[in-house]
Structures are given as structure tokens and as C-alpha cells.
Amino acid sequence: MPVLPPKPEPIAPPSGFRVGAASAGVKDPAERGRRDDIMLLVADVPVVAAGVFTQNEVRAACVAQSEAILKHDPAGVRALVANSGNANCLSGKEEEDWTRRMREAAAQALGLGPEQVLAASTGVIGEPFPIARVAAAIPEAAASLGHSPAHWQRAAEAIRTTDTHAKWACEERENFRIMGIAKGSGMIHPRMATMLAFVATDLALPQAMLARLLRRAVAESFHTISVDGDTSTNDCVIAFAHAAKAPPSRKTLQAFARALQAVCMRLARQIVLDGEGASRCMEIAITGARTKRQARKVAEAIATSPLVKTALAGADPNWGRILAAAGKAQAGIARARLSLWMEDVRVVEGGVRAAGYREEQGAEIFARPFFRVRLDLGLGRATAKMLTTDLSYDYVRINAEYRT
């Protein structure tokens, strides 16, 4: 079961966009008609697009092709086609062609050129891609296009893999709306993860500005979560905005930047709380670092430590593992300056166990489904945060049975 499954937010779709979904039986032809696994996002007005893509050096064709399209003509993009159930990665010499044919099928169904359509895939790596079933289902997705909250929810459902629930978030202001949907549960780590996120807004923006704001929002959201330390071959966050040659007012732009980051952070939080097999989630705050880089390096070392994560699974407040993981980062910390808190309980002071700390205090905190720890390095003023989950028996089971 996910940790504290979030209550679905009300949906306020932005104007000028439609979404649709269909069932192709991508992973298994027997599933055709049982669950949606194809989605389309279509702009009805001129838009600009921007993306942030996985840094994994083994990249799927959909990542390479979408990134190339955005570099060539980000103002010409009008649609996105995505599938779950098959990553179409490491699938042979046909991989590039299969991605191209999926984009072409979407373009034909929507009356667009293939160069106007981005692609995203998620699912099993290394399996032949069922392009015939995918291409046959895309017109059905096009026929289902709509802009209602129900359409967006159906699109969010269509990109799920091991997710236990669909994920969406939105923000509404006086002069714009932002809508985002995402998938992700395992292979979650900074530098993207096994996740897809698609965001649309009816605020008119220049493309360069959208790209800059998206990178900033991703850095403080999707790049601050970790479930298992693995990053995938197919990750992407793609944003669409109504096109503009000049930026909006400074006040509107600042409001949009905050709203975009809020949407991305809520989507990222939903992903980590739905971590595969997760029963607990811990927020790690690093304070007192010399630099942001140092703080992030220490936070990441703690968030990905198998010993920390298994202690979390067992509700064992083994604070020594937290400090050992911090030292493993080799980030230039000083043991004698370290202080650690679990929620508001001081556990470590000056690099040793705090005089007033009692084990039962830590045990009560570690038994909670969600809690915070803070490690102060005593070196400066820089900070960083990460969200991580425990490493449970169910995580092993889910991934051991992933292809069966």
C-alpha cells in the first residue's frame, strides 16, 4: 500500500488543450479493452513546448526524438502521444522506426505533421514494441479527445504502470491555469527517474522563458525525490504553454513560477508516496552546508542508503546509519560539527548522541508513515531537501515479478 495516498485534487483544466485515451493492450493483447494504455495531449491553439529529459546514457528512442524536435522547432509542437506497458527501449534496430511510426499515427489521426508530435513511452525495457496495436488504438484516443476533468483523469490513468493510483495536480489563478499529470512508482531518483510528467498552461509565454521556468521547477521537485536510487531510460517532463512573443507582467510571471513549482512538487510528492512497496516516507533536510552542492550530495547519500532505507522499513531509529551515510558522501563534512534531529527531537549534538535523547522517542517517530529528519552540518548556510521511502519486502516482490 502507498504511504498516505493523497486525496485527488479537484481538476481545473487549462483552456486550449484536449486529452484522450484508448486501450491498445500494449503489454498484453489480452488487456485490450480492459485498461487504457495510450494517451494523447493536443493543443488547439499555437503553443510553445519545453522538456527536461533523463540523463541516463542508455536512452529510449522517444527521448532522443522528442528532445531533437524541441531543439529544432519548439514553437511548432502541437501534440504528444504516450503509452504505458512497453518502454520501446533496447528493443532492437526497429526502435527508432517504431517511435517514428507511433508519432506518424498520431499525426495522421490529428491532421498534423509528424514533426509536430512528441512521443513518450514507459514500461518494460527490451521487449519488441507492438506498433500495430498501438497505431490501431491511436485513432480511438483521438476520437475520445476532450477538455473536461474526466478526460484529464482518464489520461492520467492511461500512463500508469506499477502506480497504485493516477496522479495529477493543478493550480488556478485569476489569469491562468496549470494542469499536470504524472506517473511513477519505482526507479525514482534525481536526474529524472522512471517517471513521466506532462504539464499544460493557458498562460501565454515565450518558449525560452517556459524552458527556463520548467528546469527550475524540476530541480526543486522531481530532482529531490528518491525511491530506489535508479534512474530510467525513458524519463521526461514536458510542458506546453500558449505562445507569446513577449512575456507577461512581472507580477504574473512570478505567480506562474510559483504555481508551476507547486504543481511539479505535488506531482513529485505523489510519486514518492506511491513508491513501490513503500510503507514509510522520510523527508531529509540538510542545513548548515557550505554550498547547495554539498547539501544535495549529503542528502542524496542518505536518501539512497540501503541501510538507512531498511532501518526505515523496520521502524528502527538507527541514527548511526544516517550519519554513516552522510560521511559516505565524501562531501567534506566535519563529524564534530554534526547535529541531527528527528522531528523536534535532538538525537545528535557535536557528532555524538545528545545527552537527553531516549531511544523510545526515535522509535515512536520512525513508526510513523511520514516524518522529517534534519542534519545540520555546522559549516555554512546552504540547505537541501529530499524525500525518500523505505526499502520493503514488497519492493523486492514487485520488481522480482515485474515481467511475470
Which grid cell sits at 300? 542524496
State the residue for C-alpha cell 504539464.
Answer: 199
Decide if 291 is catalytic: no
Instruction: Name the maximum alpha-carbon separation found in the chain.
Output: 71
First to last CA, the chain: 20
At 289, give phi and psi (nearest 5°): -90, 160
Of the candidates 107, 97, 102, 67, the one whose C-alpha atom is nearest the C-alpha of residue 84 is 102
* Residue 179 one-letter amino acid: M
Which grid cell sits at 328? 559516505
Give Cα 42 to chain centroid, integer Å.
21
Which grid cell sits at 264? 511539479
Which grid cell sits at 372? 522529517
| Annotated active-site residue in 194, 233, 388, 389 | 194
Instruction: Burial-class residue 41 by CB neighbours within 10 Å (0-12, 13-18, 19+).
Output: buried
Instruction: Burial-class residue 355 by CB neighbours within 10 Å (0-12, 13-18, 19+).
Output: exposed
- Cα–Cα separations (whole angstroms), residue 49 to 217, 255, 321, 356: 15, 19, 43, 54
Tell me the pairing of strands 236-243 and 225-226. unpaired
Q: Given phi > 0 = left and psi -120 to 50 = alpha, else beta, which region is 129?
A: beta
Handedness of CA 219, 384, 180, 1 (dihedral sign): positive
Of the candidates 63, 62, 69, 18, the one whose C-alpha atom is nearest the C-alpha of residue 48 is 69
Angle between helices 61-72 and 95-110 (to 10 degrees): 60
Pairwise CA distance, residues 55 & 301, whole Å? 19
Q: Report the length, in residues, of the chain.
A: 404
Sheet holding 339-342, edge to edge: 225-226, 382-389, 281-289, 370-376, 339-342, 345-349, 352-353
Q: Which residues are catalytic?
A: 194
